[in-house]
Amino acid sequence: MRKIVINGGRPLEGWVTVSGAKNSVVALIPAIILADGIVTLDGVPAISDVDSLIDIMETMGATVRRDGETLEIDPRGVQDMPMPFGKINSLRASYYFYGSLLGRFGQAIVGLPGGCDLGPRPIDLHLKAFEAMGATVSYEGSNMHLTATEGQIHGAHIYMDTVSVGATINTMLAAVKAKGRTVIENAAREPEIIDVATLLNNMGAHIRGAGTDIITIEGVESLHGTRHQVIPDRIEAGTYIALAAAAGQGIHVDNVLYEHLESYIAKLEEMGVHMTVSEDSIFVEKQEKLKAVSVKTAPYPGLATDLQQPLTPLLLKAEGSGRVLDTIYEKRVGHVAELAKMGADIKTTSNYISYQGPNQLTGAQVKATDLRAGAAMVIAGLMAQGTTEITNIEFILRGYSNIIEKLQALGADIQLVED
């Protein structure tokens, strides 16, 4: 078993560079199945979810070459075959293979997706879209069978009952090679959707409206290879900004797109966090006094649910009381009990997280209950006096590229230990 050990209370300063977006690349890699030539991605993060996706692609017959942050994939050898359940079940984003395989082969046999336990995250919106495009859905054991009744799916007018990033991207993947036009209404608007649409358009797709709530896709017969730069990870950026405000003596966070974080930055400014925003970086000063605020997550451009947990340790440093409401994933509260073990005055009340500050955290043995909860525990460990040991760290390594090395470069006393 591996764990992260942190000796907290050390002064942190310097520079940290944000890697490519996890939530983009886990969709970009399955999207490459649709191409008839080699696709190269630059800025690919070194995370275990990428490792799993590469294994899946190679199992299916793709040729993959990796050199640092550059990933070259030739999908022409991909076979129409059942997807390996073990790898598929290890990450939530495996459901993007539904859309890409359906678009390329007119059918797909894929195991049900896994990932963090954040409460109900049904894929009914994905299936509703596929059925509108002429696919039938059936189940056999742990596998889902998707089949285009006419051998190829067709365009359709689809209204998303709720805003869903995954369903919006999956529908785009299925639609780019469908017969005719597909219109997605009430589409999600996240930057990662724009990133996936940009890759597909560079491959020869005809997608308009990505980043708005209406996306139109004109189906094409074939897609070609291309080269694409993955956007910076706005969740990783927000995590390091929170860390810098909570435990830093002056930290530059580089490779940041401010427009992807406007609502988050506004909430930090409401707390009294002092920052200097530049074209592609943010300098976070040493903070003296912070004010408690209440936080409510919302679909983009609102404050991202993925930033709720990394933000929480910083809230504990503020004076006063506040509440946190996650409107996206109601079970995203696993970090609360772990922070309480470190002496935090924090609890869950009904659907809210309530806290009182300021708090001086003390090192303890804690666990990462999911990916972003793991990031919260790392920040809390850096803030705390004494030693913090974090288990279940595989969650953290799924989404934060080279996190140990990046924090050590800032002066953190942090180690990954084989127990």
Could you please report the per-residue DSSP string of 329-391? -TTTTHHHHHHHHTT--EEEETTEEEEEE----B--EEE-SSHHHHHHHHHHHHHSBSEEEEE
303 is in an annotated binding site: no
- Per-residue pLDDT, 150: 85
pLDDT of residue 144: 82
Residue 305 confidence (pLDDT): 96
Task: For residue 116, indicate whether it is catalytic.
Answer: yes
The mean per-residue pLDDT over the stretch 16-40 comes to 98
Confidence at residue 89, expressed as pLDDT on a 0 to 100 scale: 62
What pLDDT shows up at residue 115?
A: 46
6 is in an annotated binding site: no
pLDDT of 117 reads 45
Residue 81: predicted pLDDT: 82
Q: What pTM value is reported for the model? A: 0.95
Alpha-carbon separation of residue 172 from 121, 130, 131, 165 (angstroms): 19, 10, 14, 11
Tell whether 51 is in a known binding site. no
pLDDT tens-place string over residues 323-342: 999 999 888 999 999 999 99
- What is the pLDDT averaged over residues 125-141? 92
Rounded percentage of the chain residues whose pLDDT exceeds 90? 87
Q: Is 23 annotated as belonging to a binding site?
A: yes
Average pLDDT over residues 268-278: 97
Task: Tell me the Ramachandran region of residue 106: left when phi exceeds 0, alpha when psi lies from -120 to 50, beta otherwise.
Answer: left
Q: Report yes or no: 244 and 252 within 8 Å, Cβ to Cβ.
A: no
- What does the pLDDT average to over 94-115? 85
The owner of tokens 């696993």 is 334
User: Is residue 88 predicted with pLDDT exceeding 90?
Assistant: no
Residue 259: band (very low, low, confident or very high) from pLDDT cuts 50, 70, 90: very high
Q: Is 102 annotated as a binding residue?
A: no
Average pLDDT over residues 148-161: 94
Q: What pLDDT score does 121 carry?
A: 46
Q: Which conformational region is residue 246 in: left (phi greater than 0), alpha (psi within -120 to 50 degrees), or beta?
A: alpha
CA distances (Å), origin 192, targets 36, 55, 126, 135, 211 = 23, 23, 17, 26, 9
Is the predicted pLDDT of residue 6 greater than 70, yes or no?
A: yes
Residues 290, 256 contacting (CB under 8 angstroms): no
Token pair recorded at residue 71? 């990933």
Band (266; pLDDT cuts 50, 70, 90): very high
Please state, rounded to an integer, the average pLDDT across all residues of the chain: 94
pLDDT at 254 over 90: yes
pLDDT in tens, 163-197: 999 999 999 999 999 999 999 999 999 999 999 99
Which whole number is the average pLDDT over 28-33? 98
Mean pLDDT of 193-212: 98
pLDDT top residue among 257 and 114:
257
Is 255 a residue whose pLDDT tops 90? Answer: yes
**CA separation (Å) from 230 to 114, 237, 379?**
24, 14, 26
Q: Is 22 annotated as a binding residue?
A: yes
Mean pLDDT of 54-60: 92
Q: Would you call 297 helix, strand, or coil by DSSP?
A: coil
pLDDT digits (tens, 9 = 90+) for 332-388: 999 999 999 999 999 998 889 999 999 999 999 999 999 999 999 999 999 999 999
377 vs 120, higher pLDDT:
377
Q: Which residue has the higher pLDDT, 329 or 50?
A: 50
Catalytic residue among 116, 184, 235, 403: 116
346-349, strands of its sheet edge to edge: 295-296, 320-325, 352-357, 346-349
pLDDT of residue 122: 66
| Triad 135, 136, 138: Cα angle to 5° | 140
Q: What is the pLDDT of residue 350?
A: 81
